C-alpha cells in the first residue's frame, strides 16, 4: 500500500512539474500599490513612493524574476486563450488607472479629510480588482474571473475625482 501511495505522489508531482501554472507572485506588485495607497494619508513621504510605483506586465515581471516558477508561469500565460489574456490585461490596466487616479488626486492637495475619502474609495475598488485578478490566476485563467464592472469602477473614479 505504501508503494502505491508514493507512486501516486510521484505521478502527481510529475504532473505538477509538467503542467505550467499561472503564479500569484505577480500580484505582489499590486499588493505593494494597495499598501502605499492605504499608507499615503498617514505618511506624506509614502506619496513619493506611490508616485515612483510603476506597473509591470505579467510576462515582464516573470522575465525579470529569479523565481523557480518564472518560466512555467510565463509559459502558462502564453498558453492562455488570447481572449482570456486580454481580459486579464484589461483588469490590470484598470488597477493601474486607479493607482494613477489616486496619485493625481492626492498630489493636487486639498483637505486631509478628502484624502482619507479618496483612499477609502480607491482601496475598496482596488481590493475588488485585486481579488478578481487573484481568482483569475488561481482558476488557471478563467476569463469570467477577470471580468469586472467597468461602470462600478468608473463610478469609484468619478467619486474620487469629485472630492
Residue 12: the pLDDT is 42
pLDDT of residue 27: 97
Q: Distance (Å, rounded) from C-alpha 133 to C-alpha 152? A: 16
Question: What's the confidence (pLDDT) of residue 20?
Answer: 64
For the chain, which residues make up each domain, given as ranges? 21-162
Q: Biggest alpha carbon distance in the chain?
A: 70
- pLDDT band, very low/low/confident/very high, at 44 (cuts 50, 70, 90): confident
Q: How confident is the model at residue 49 (pLDDT cuts 50, 70, 90)?
A: very high
Return the pLDDT at 113: 73
Mean pLDDT of 93-103: 96
Say which residues have a Cβ less than 8 Å from residue 25's Cβ, sequence separation at least 6. Answer: 61, 62, 65, 67, 69, 73
The predicted model gives 117-146 an average pLDDT of: 95
Residues of the chain with pLDDT > 90, as a percent, come to 76
Is the pLDDT reported for residue 2 higher than 60? no
Q: Above 70 in pLDDT, residue 33?
A: yes
Give the mean model confidence (pLDDT) for residues 43-67.
Answer: 94
Cβ 23 vs Cβ 134: under 8 Å:
no
Alpha-carbon Rg of the chain, whole angstroms?
Answer: 19
Q: What is the pLDDT of residues 20-31, one digit of tens each?
A: 699 999 999 999
Amino acid at each position: 500500500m505504501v508503494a502505491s501511495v508514493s507512486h501516486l505522489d510521484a505521478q502527481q508531482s510529475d504532473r505538477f512539474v509538467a503542467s505550467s501554472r499561472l503564479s500569484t507572485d505577480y500580484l505582489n506588485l499590486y499588493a505593494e500599490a494597495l499598501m502605499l495607497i492605504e499608507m499615503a494619508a498617514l505618511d506624506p513621504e509614502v506619496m513619493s513612493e506611490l508616485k515612483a510605483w510603476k506597473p509591470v506586465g505579467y510576462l515582464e515581471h516573470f522575465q525579470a524574476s529569479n523565481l523557480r516558477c518564472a518560466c512555467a508561469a510565463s509559459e502558462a500565460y502564453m498558453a492562455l486563450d488570447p481572449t482570456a489574456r486580454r481580459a486579464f490585461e484589461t483588469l490590470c490596466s484598470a488597477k493601474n488607472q486607479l493607482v494613477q487616479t489616486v496619485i493625481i488626486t492626492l498630489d493636487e492637495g486639498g483637505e486631509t479629510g478628502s484624502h482619507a475619502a479618496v483612499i477609502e474609495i480607491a482601496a475598496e475598488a482596488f481590493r475588488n480588482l485585486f481579488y478578481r485578478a487573484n481568482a483569475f490566476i488561481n482558476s488557471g485563467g478563467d476569463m469570467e474571473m477577470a471580468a469586472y464592472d467597468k461602470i462600478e469602477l468608473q463610478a469609484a473614479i468619478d467619486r474620487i475625482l469629485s472630492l
